[in-house]
Amino acid sequence: MARCFTFLLSLTLIVSPLFAGEKEGTLDIYFIDVEGGAATLIVTPTGESILIDSGYPDLNGRDRDRILDTLKNQAKLDHLDHAVVSHWHLDHYGNHASLSALIPIHNFWDRGIPDALQEDKNFDTRIADYRAASQNESKALTAGDTFELDSNGTPLKVTIVAASREVIENTGEANPFASEHEPKPVDNSDNASSLGILLEFGDFRFLCCGDLTWNTEAKLMTPNNPIGKIDLFMVTHHGLPNSNNPVFVKAIDPVVAVMCNGPKKGGHPDTIATLGSCKSLKHLYQLHRNVTLGSEEQTPAAYIANSEPTENCEGIGVKATVAANGTSYEVQIGQAGTRNKYESRSSKH
Ligand SMILES: [Zn+2]
């Protein structure tokens, strides 16, 4: 028996390093730098992959290649299980079709395909490419949809909180900031139709709402807060001020925020001030230094992934790694950056 045990032990020691370099049960979130667009790759503990948005098209494949590099060289994957489009703007679905020509994509998800898009005169052509890539089998998500994903133990759940201007039922505790809502003119663009995606992994809670704009944010979060508080928040709409309504941001009260801004897009001082007024916020990470603002108007340099203008940008991303039990997470800039650790707040509504 002793010999048998020793054999098993040594086998474990030999085998485990092969797996140790891989996932170790973590949930990984890669905020890929696409210069002011959005592309967020989530890899679950079992290796299931979800790409939310795909950056800008063309540009010699700049954003497509950054996504592929993250997928293949960082996440060590050769396909995508799910490709999601938050809404129909080019900085969000620019590479779904071109990616599908290079890697298998098993499922396409979106908010439903509109017949036309007033703000994009080339929508017909672009959507034809998307339809072809998805073989006309993309699935439309609606507010209230939920998905339980395989996770090796810690429960992993995705909830669609907003889609096509509809929002989940306004249950939950009263939003103490609700009276601060000041409506803006109606936003007829597709931003207002963005998907809002809540991901929960045990106690850890991540929220990503595409480019959802001001009035839809208020519709979702007043008078009650049906989402509760959030650990990690992908700042909405690249940090632009027609999103990030304080009644929304202050109510979710994130501990860590990651802003997918560009050197000259997003990262607005109003949004940064709103984030700064959140009681629990420890750190704001920016994918870019906003080159039009002074250093005192943005997050400290240690939390900025890229400082150069787009022409010289290396496209460094931000990564969050959530522990296998969901109780804590680490955030780092680039593959070798300092890992800052945070505890999940487990404050359910
Ligand atoms: Zn956008």
Compute the distance from residue 110 Cα to the ligand 1 centre, in Å. 15
pLDDT at 5 over 70: no
Q: Establish if 2 belongs to a structural domain.
A: no
217-239 burial, b for 16+ CB within 10 Å, e for fewer? bbbbbbebbbbbbbbbbbbbbbb
Residue 8 lies in a domain: no
Q: Domain with 85 in it: what CATH number?
A: 3.60.15.10
Q: What is the pLDDT of residue 326?
A: 96
Is the pLDDT score of 235 beyond 70?
yes
pLDDT tens figures, 168-203: 999 999 999 999 999 999 999 999 999 999 999 999
Q: How far, in Å, is the centroid of ligand 1 from the Cα of 208?
A: 12
Average pLDDT of the chain, as a whole number: 93
How far does residue 262's CA lie from ligand 1's centre (Å)? 10
Distance 37 CA to ligand 1 centre (A): 5
Q: Is residue 11 part of a domain?
A: no
pLDDT for residue 112: 98
In percent, the amount of the chain with pLDDT more than 90 equals 91
- Give the three-class secondary structure for 296: helix
Q: What is the mean pLDDT of residues 225-248?
A: 98
What's the pLDDT at 10? 44
What does DSSP say about strands 232-234 and 80-84: parallel, antiparallel, or unpaired?
unpaired
Task: With respect to residue 13, please indicate whether it lies within any of the assigned structural domains.
Answer: no
How far apart, in Å, are the Cα atoms of 273 and each of 141, 238, 240, 276, 284? 32, 14, 12, 5, 11
CA 243 – ligand 1 centroid, Å? 11
Owning domain of residue 135: 23-343
Question: How far, in Å, is the centroid of ligand 1 from the Cα of 251?
Answer: 23
Residue 301 pLDDT class (50, 70, 90 cuts): very high
Q: Taking the CA of residue 187 as centre, how many other CA atoms within 13 Å lie in the half-sphere pointing to its CB?
A: 20
Which run of H or of E encompasses 257? strand 256-259
Separation of CA 18 and ligand 1 centre (Å):
39
CA distance 201 to 335: 23
Query: Mean pLDDT, to the nearest integer, of 300-312?
Result: 95
Which residues lie closer than 8 Å to 62 by C-beta, 6 or more apart?
Answer: 34, 35, 55, 56, 315
From the CA of 85, how far away is ligand 1's center (Å)?
11
Report how far residue 75's alpha carbon sits from residue 23's, in angstroms, rounded to the nearest whole number: 9
In a domain, 18, yes or no: no
pLDDT confidence of residue 98: 97
**Residue 236 DSSP one-character state:** G
- 268 Cα to the center of ligand 1, angstroms: 14
pLDDT at 9: 43
Distance (angstroms) between ligand 1 centre and the Cα of 317 equals 17
| Number of independent structural domains in the chain | 1
CA of 17 to the centre of ligand 1 (A): 40
